[in-house]
Amino acid sequence: MKASIEHRTQSFTVDLSKPLDLSISVDPKAPGINAWYVEDPEITPVTLGEWTGSVAQGADVNFNNIQFNPHAHITHTECLGHITREFYSINEHLNKYFFVSAVISVIPSLMENGDRVITKETIAEKIALFDGEALVIRTLPNSESKKSTRYSNTNPPYLAVEAAEYIKNKGIKHLLIDLPSVDKEKDGGKLLAHNAFWNTANSPRLDATITEFIFVDDHIVDGKYLLNLMVAPFENDATPSKPTLYAML
C-alpha cells in the first residue's frame, strides 16, 4: 500500500506495507533494557480469591497486570512535563503523528573526563541542509545488545547542550535517540540538553518531544524518512511509544 505525501514544497511517496520499527518492547521473560536504578518490569495474571487470570491455569481469558516505568524499561516519548513543576501530559501535547525525519549515525566524542558526548559539530555536519521536523540519532557502534543493556551506573553517552541548542534552532520538534537519556546520567539535576531542547528558560516548546531507548537496526540507512510517532494514551509526562519509519520512494 503506497501513499503520496505533501510536505512544504516537496512531495514524495511511501510504502506503508514496509514499516521500519524503532521500538524496544517490554518482555519480562527475556533480558531487557533497564535504567535509573529500578527493578525489572513485571507482567503477572490478576488473582481474585481463588481465580487467577491465566488460561493456562484454568481461566477463560488471560488477564494480566503490567508494572513498568516508561523511562526505565521501554521505548518512550516524553514532553516538557518530564522536567517541570507544572503538569504537562504527552497525550495532550502531542497531537500530530507524521513528520519528515532524518536518520543520522554518529560516533560520540571521547572527552578528557572520560565522558562520551555527541557534539554540536557532529550533528551540524549531518543535518546542515535538513529542513524536516524530526531527528533520529543512532550512536555507533551499534549492536543488538542495545535492546538488553543495563544502563544504571554506566555513564552512557549523551548530547552536548550546544548540540541540543543547535537541534532546537534548526526547528526540529521531535528528537529520537538510542540512549536512556539525552543528558548525562548523573549531572546534579541540571538536565542541560533537555532544558535546551525544550527552551524552558525562554518560550517553552510544549509541542516538542524527546523519544529515548529506540533501536535503529543497521539495515536502516542514514537519510530522510517519514516518521510515524505513535504513543499510548497515558496522561503522563511520558508514555510508551512505537516510532516507525517509512522510506521515501
List the one residue out of 177, 240, 235 whose CA is nearest residue 41.
240
pLDDT string in tens for the chain (249-residue length): 776 777 666 788 999 999 999 999 999 988 999 999 999 999 999 999 999 999 999 999 999 999 999 999 999 999 999 999 999 999 999 999 999 999 999 999 999 999 999 999 999 999 999 999 999 999 999 999 999 999 999 999 999 999 999 999 999 999 999 999 999 999 999 999 999 999 999 999 999 999 999 999 999 999 999 999 999 999 999 999 999 999 998
pLDDT at position 92, please?
97
Give the chain's domains with CATH numbers.
2-25+74-247 (3.50.30.50)
Closest CA to 211 of 184, 157, 248, 173: 173
Predicted pLDDT of residue 9: 63
- Pick from 153, 205, 211: which is nearest to 182 by CA? 211
Of 148, 179, 146, whose CA–CA distance to 26 is shortest?
148
